[in-house]
Amino acid sequence: MRFFSVFVVGGLLGLLASFPQSTLHAAEKMPQGRITEAQIQEIARDSRIKWTYIAAVANYEEHKTSKSKGIEWPGYLWAGPWNPNPDERSPQTLRMFGGIGMDGNKDGLADPATTEDSLVSLGNWLRRHGDNEEAFREALEEKYDRELIRNRIMGFAKVYATFNKYELTEHAFPVNKKYDYSFKETWGDKRGWGGRRIHEGTDIFAGYGTPVLASAYGFIEEKGWNKFGGWRIGLRGIDNVYYYYAHLASFSKGMSVGMVVKPGQVLGYVGSSGYGKPGTSGKFPPHLHYGMYRGGGMKEWAFDPYPYLRQWERQRKST
Ligand SMILES: [Zn+2]
């Protein structure tokens, strides 16, 4: 009986750890990138722009949503700001109007829907600004209104520079197999609050101090106290998924916003922090509240991490 009530309280607190201003999608199909490292390296060579900058924009565009169809180009950039026809496809006319659109596949048209044309134009666009961090940020300001998105793309470039590789698809289960833990499917559980809200994640029960691990290649986007999640850390994966770790006891030494991490790297330790002023702890059993979010920036939505957790757990066992 006592265990039962503690568990219910834990579940209730778990839902309080939910990310604000998000909507829920039970299942989420991960977008698959089509642009290859070879294509990116070729554009980098031809445009004399660091491959990490080309890669960062291409990766963001390909993982913006699950329906992403390559790099999107607004008419003012592709066709030029004063071009009366934003749908112009003639490379000569685009050039005349200062558009960045170019013909990469030599079919006589500069078509933003073609990967080759899109990539050559990406190189052309970045080349106009220059090959350094300041110039890259300046270029991003032309295309992306939101600072959050510009920072995300800059972060991706840093991840690529750290690992010197475009294919960074590896994932890791967030708890090391040497530690005891348990979790079950709780997505959509209606608990507390009159059933108005549902649990946005998976609670992984484990002892105090159990290390929690990065699930993906990426960088730390958020770190600190949140009154629901307690000590929480947010990892922006290179797959553009936001991995949310809440109720921690403490963070791994040296963790800071902007830091690049790889799958399996220790981010912090399991605790029971949250639901109150900074430092509040022990109001529910220790567990890791694990959330996964996607979104293009204007809107973030949670999706069910459970199937991914089971998948990563299986993959770990087989290695
Ligand atoms: Zn939870």
pLDDT, tens digit, 9 for 90 and up, residues 268-318:
999 999 999 999 999 999 999 999 998 755 677 889 999 999 999 999 876
pLDDT value, residue 92: 96
Centroid of ligand 1 to alpha carbon of 67 (angstroms): 28
pLDDT per residue over 91-139, tens digit each? 999 999 999 999 999 999 999 999 999 999 999 999 999 999 999 999 9
pLDDT at 146 over 90: yes
Centroid of ligand 1 to alpha carbon of 63 (angstroms): 26
Return the minimum-mean-pLDDT range out of 25-34, 156-165, 186-195, 254-263: 186-195
pLDDT value, residue 300: 79
d(CA 32, CA 176): 27
pLDDT per residue over 18-47, tens digit each? 444 455 566 677 677 789 999 999 999 999
Band (68; pLDDT cuts 50, 70, 90): confident
pLDDT at 83 over 80: yes
Centroid of ligand 1 to alpha carbon of 223 (angstroms): 18
Backbone angles phi, psi at 221, to 5 degrees: -100, -30
d(CA 109, CA 117): 8
**CB-based neighbours (< 5 A) of ligand 1, an ion:** 14, 17, 201, 203, 289
CB 239 within 8 A of CB 222: no
Half-sphere exposure (Cβ direction) of 264: Cα atoms closer than 13 Å: 7
Centroid of ligand 1 to alpha carbon of 17 (angstroms): 6
For 2-30+170-317, CATH gives 2.70.70.10
pLDDT value, residue 59: 96
pLDDT at 257 over 60: yes
pLDDT value, residue 228: 87
Centroid of ligand 1 to alpha carbon of 172 (angstroms): 19
pLDDT value, residue 87: 93
Centroid of ligand 1 to alpha carbon of 282 (angstroms): 15
**Mean pLDDT along residues 254-279:** 96
**Residue 153 CB contacts under 8 Å (≥ 6 apart), including other chains:** 56, 57, 60, 140, 144
**Mean pLDDT along residues 131-155:** 96
pLDDT value, residue 125: 98
**Mean pLDDT along residues 219-248:** 95
pLDDT at 85 over 60: yes
